[in-house]
Structure 1
Amino acid sequence: MILRSALIALLLLTTMGQAQAYSYAAAGKEPLIDAREQLLTAASEGQDASAVLASLTEELAYLEQHHKVVLQAPLAEAIKAKDAAATATLLNRAYKAEIERRLEGAGQNLGDYQTAKVLVVKSKRFLDLILPSLSEGDRKAADGALAKVLDAIGNPGVFGVGAKTADPEAFKAAEQALMAVLAPL
């Protein structure tokens, strides 16, 4: 009976640890990504998007303050004017700022592989939305630069086997290359 209880406790502890590890690396909610289709639909069909924009106030205000992009008023104006192209351009500008934000965070956390990796992977979600608006050459350059960013964060290996230390210089160079491709946005 004691052995059975110990096995159940061990199983519960093991399962709980796996759930925590999964939830830490889960993609999570990205309000700017989640609202994309609603905003583009509202712009193309002339619908009221004030509720959607209000739900993005915190994210957009942060980007405006810390990444020096103006988004809230132009987005509202573009949607009101039924200008889907301008709305898409402004969303790409917001996504570019989000990529910059995530990569800055990853660069500051190069000593913490898991945090850096999550931030780089989240930046990839934003990049994937921007890629269709880039030329083929710029798409390849952006994807290649992000792959180099991911490689530069290193890898802890499995129990240390195959471990690779982070390379801050390679990280910075790849980050700059990516942001140079996205600069025209």
Structure 2
Amino acid sequence: MRKWLVMLMALLVIWGMQTSTAWAYSYGKPDEDPVADAYQKAYVALNKKPADFATAEREFKQVRAEMAEHAEIGPQLTKAIEQNLQVKKADQALFYWRQALVRNIQRRLDNLSQDFNDYSKAKVLLAKAYGTFKVLNTLHLKQDNPSLSTKLDGEFQKALNALGNPGLFGVGKKPADRKQFEASKKIILSELEKQYIPTGEKVASGGKGHIGKGPSEETLEDGEESPLEKWGPLTAIVIVVVGAVALFTWLGRRKRHS
């Protein structure tokens, strides 16, 4: 019985170490970003023949206020997208929307720099930044610049590794590397800006700051994990361990009495 118990615990530790550094999450989807999601749907709509501007404008309206208020995107860039959708200029609208996605990646990574020592928040912020990058990468970068696509994907992986790992009950603990994160962040942002924001761009980025939440709203702060996401995996491990101990104890007693 002890042998089986040791093997089970070892498997659980390995599982915990692997899942703590994965991009995919079992509880919710913290890598999703509404601005990127709306862009993806608008992109599909505007690439139809004829272009479906009604769907694109509907998707844009759902995220317009958020885009205008964020300090890194701002009202001017948001207005440029809106105006080009209104006059049916699909390419220009998507051009400015891609700039907004780059600024949103910047926002996540800048916030991560401030919360670097909070592993839970940092992990979610990086996942959101990477989720937005994946939209840009899938729809554009892989086709336009394959070598840069590979390079930046690698830098995101380096940034993930740089967050370290608190481990499972201290097992598998890996120290964070702020220097590596900042180096990867600098490469990611500078390359994305060169790729998607032309030198001398006349439409300015920058807004008023983050949207304030009313006292009755219970939305999570940027980078904050839900209770289920935060405690779900640990709870599952405890349940499995307790269940396994109970099962092996019952089997042992049954063997002795047989």
The two structures have a TM-score, normalised by structure 2, of 0.56
* Correspondent of 2:130 among 117, 120, 124: 124
CA distance in 1, matches of 2:31, 2:153: 22
Please show how residues 1-185 of structure 1 align to structure 2 within 5 Å: 26-27=29-30, 30-40=33-43, 41=45, 45=51, 47-48=53-54, 50-63=57-70, 65-67=71-73, 70-131=76-137, 132-134=139-141, 135-184=145-194, 185=196
Pick 1 or 2: higher relative contact order, CA cutoff 8 A, min separation 6. Answer: 2
The one-letter amino acid paired with 2:37 is D
8 Å CA contact 1:43–1:78 kept in 2: the answer is no
CA distance in 1, matches of 2:111, 2:176: 14
Aligned residues: 163
Structure 2, unaligned stretches of length 5 or more? 1-24, 197-258
CA distance in 2, matches of 1:67, 1:80: 20
Alpha-carbon deviation of 1:164? 1.3
- Residues 109-134 of structure 1: CA distance to partner in whole angstroms, max 9, x if unpaired? 12111110111011111001111422
Structure 1, unaligned stretches of length 5 or more? 1-20
CA RMSD, 1 decimal: 2.5
CA distance in 2, matches of 1:171, 1:69: 30
Q: Which residue of 1 aligns with 2:4?
A: none
8 Å CA contact 1:43–1:87 kept in 2: the answer is no
The 1:130/1:69 distance shift into structure 2, 3 A limit, reads farther
The 1:109/1:50 distance shift into structure 2, 3 A limit, reads same
Alpha-carbon deviation of 1:137? 1.2
Alpha-carbon deviation of 1:102? 0.9
8 Å CA contact 2:32–2:128 kept in 1: the answer is no
Question: Moved runs in structure 1, 4+ residues, more than 4 A?
Answer: none
Larger % of helix: which? Answer: 1
- Residues 127-146 of structure 1: CA distance to partner in whole angstroms, max 9, x if unpaired? 01111422011101110111
CA distance in 2, matches of 1:73, 1:67: 11
Alpha-carbon deviation of 1:151? 0.9
The two structures have a TM-score, normalised by structure 1, of 0.75
Range with bigger deviation, 97-106 or 68-77: 68-77
The one-letter amino acid paired with 2:53 is Q
Identity %: 26
Range with bigger deviation, 112-121 or 48-57: 48-57
The one-letter amino acid paired with 1:32 is V
8 Å CA contact 1:57–1:72 kept in 2: the answer is yes
The one-letter amino acid paired with 1:88 is L
The structure that has the greater radius of gyration is 2
